């Protein structure tokens, strides 16, 4: 296979891989315990030995950012994966069986889609109580209709295709056709949307944590760090700068990757947006 030439694709890919690597390796590469408070080294500006400075409790900002990546990416990845499994299955099932199944499933999706994203997440969190695990569930539910709607269209086309008709004639089961013939052909759509969804899920997770209803302390989270450090913004801006920059960089990497992947995988869109 010829390697794609798009430089943006490579920049996106490197950004994503580095950040995922950092998130996975956080416990080993963080120079300090993210919760350890050093009273004598509070609100230090960046410089050795605290490269990103320290916060109002004398905690190392670099270590907190690294661990924050870990929880932010874990929550976002879990929610997008869950939404893909549930929403994607619903979309494919609706497209394959059509008729009433399609109508009912897609109407339910329309209803979920009608809610503004953060508002629906807030409602779910209000019901389940603000806990770290709840955030992933809430964001996951919010993204279910996005995957269902996105996969239904191409799945409808595939369900009518000759190879699917042939598989039916050969007696392949419905599940076998959906998993063996339809889903593999949706791989590029799934890849692009998963990457773009991860980007927005990171922003939603950060927003909810910033509001105090997402990841709960003492778990280090980028949104929470930004919220906590804002009280000391005018005396010590660095924790706010680094935690926010980390959120932007994570969301930016996945968005750039998804955007460039869409161009590379779908030549019809090349040169458009």
Minimum CB–partner distance for residue 12 and another protein (Å): 9
Exposure on the CB side of residue 187, measured as CA atoms within 13 A? 6
Chain centre to alpha carbon of residue 261: 16
Burial of 101 (0-12, 13-18, 19+ CB in 10 A): middle
Could you say whether residue 125 binds another protein (CB under 8 A)?
Answer: yes
In three-state secondary structure terms, 4 is: coil
Tokens of 146: 């996005």
Distance CA 177, CA 145 (A): 23
In three-state secondary structure terms, 50 is: strand
Could you say whether residue 83 binds another protein (CB under 8 A)?
Answer: no
Which part of the chain contacts another protein (CB under 8 A), choosing from 62-70, 84-92, 108-116, 181-189?
108-116
**Cross-strand partners of 60:** 54
User: Does residue 254 contact residue 3 with C-beta atoms inside 8 Å?
Assistant: no
Could you say whether residue 206 binds another protein (CB under 8 A)?
Answer: yes
Distance CA 59, CA 43 (A): 9
Minimum CB–partner distance for residue 148 and another protein (Å): 14
Could you say whether residue 240 binds another protein (CB under 8 A)?
Answer: yes
Total interface residues for another protein by CB under 8 A: 49
Which part of the chain contacts another protein (CB under 8 A), choosing from 47-55, 78-86, 112-120, 167-175?
112-120
Nearest Cα to 243, choosing from 74, 20, 64, 37?
A: 64
Rule CB under 8 A: choose which of 86, 212, 219, 265 binds another protein. 212
Q: Which is nearer to another protein, 91 or 239 (CB)?
A: 239
Minimum CB–partner distance for residue 198 and another protein (Å): 11
Rule CB under 8 A: choose which of 17, 18, 119, 231 binds another protein. 119
Distance CA 107, CA 226 (A): 38
User: Does residue 245 contact residue 238 with C-beta atoms inside 8 Å?
Assistant: no
Could you say whether residue 20 binds another protein (CB under 8 A)?
Answer: no
Which part of the chain contacts another protein (CB under 8 A), choosing from 56-64, 73-81, 162-170, 208-216?
208-216
Rule CB under 8 A: choose which of 47, 234, 267, 268 binds another protein. 234
Q: Cis omega (within 30 of 0) on the bond before 218?
A: yes
Rule CB under 8 A: choose which of 37, 185, 188, 207 binds another protein. 207
Rule CB under 8 A: choose which of 1, 2, 3, 7 binds another protein. 7
Nearest Cα to 43, choosing from 26, 57, 25?
A: 57
Q: Using CB under 8 A as the criterion, which residues of the chain lie in contact with another protein when the complex forms?
A: 7-8, 107-108, 110-112, 114-120, 122-123, 125-128, 130, 199, 203-204, 206-207, 210-213, 226, 230, 233-234, 237, 240-241, 244-245, 247-248, 251-252, 255-256, 259, 271-273
């Amino acid at each position: 296979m010829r390697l794609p030439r798009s430089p943006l694709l490579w920049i996106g890919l490197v950004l994503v891989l580095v950040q995922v690597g950092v998130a996975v390796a956080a416990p080993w590469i963080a120079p300090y315990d993210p919760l350890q408070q050093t009273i004598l080294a509070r609100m230090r500006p960046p410089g050795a030995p605290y490269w990103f400075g320290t916060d109002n409790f004398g905690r190392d900002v670099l270590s907190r950012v690294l661990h924050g990546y870990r929880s932010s990416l874990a929550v976002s990845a879990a929610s997008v994966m869950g939404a893909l499994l549930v929403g994607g299955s619903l979309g494919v099932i609706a497209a394959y069986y059509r008729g009433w199944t399609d109508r009912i499933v897609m109407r339910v999706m329309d209803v979920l889609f009608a809610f503004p994203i953060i508002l629906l997440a807030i409602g779910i969190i209000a019901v389940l109580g603000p806990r770290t695990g709840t955030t992933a569930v809430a964001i996951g539910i919010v993204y279910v209709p996005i995957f269902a709607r996105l996969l239904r269209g191409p799945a409808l086309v595939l369900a009518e295709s000759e190879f699917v008709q042939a598989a039916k004639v050969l007696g392949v089961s419905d599940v076998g056709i959906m998993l063996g013939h339809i889903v593999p052909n949706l791989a590029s759509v799934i890849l692009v949307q998963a990457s773009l969804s991860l980007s927005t899920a990171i922003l939603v997770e950060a927003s909810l944590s910033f509001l105090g209803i997402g990841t709960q302390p003492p778990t280090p989270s980028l949104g929470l760090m930004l919220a906590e450090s804002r009280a000391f913004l005018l005396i010590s801006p660095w924790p706010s700068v680094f935690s926010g920059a980390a959120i932007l960089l994570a969301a930016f990497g996945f968005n750039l990757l998804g955007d460039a992947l869409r161009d590379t995988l779908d030549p019809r869109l090349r040169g458009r947006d």
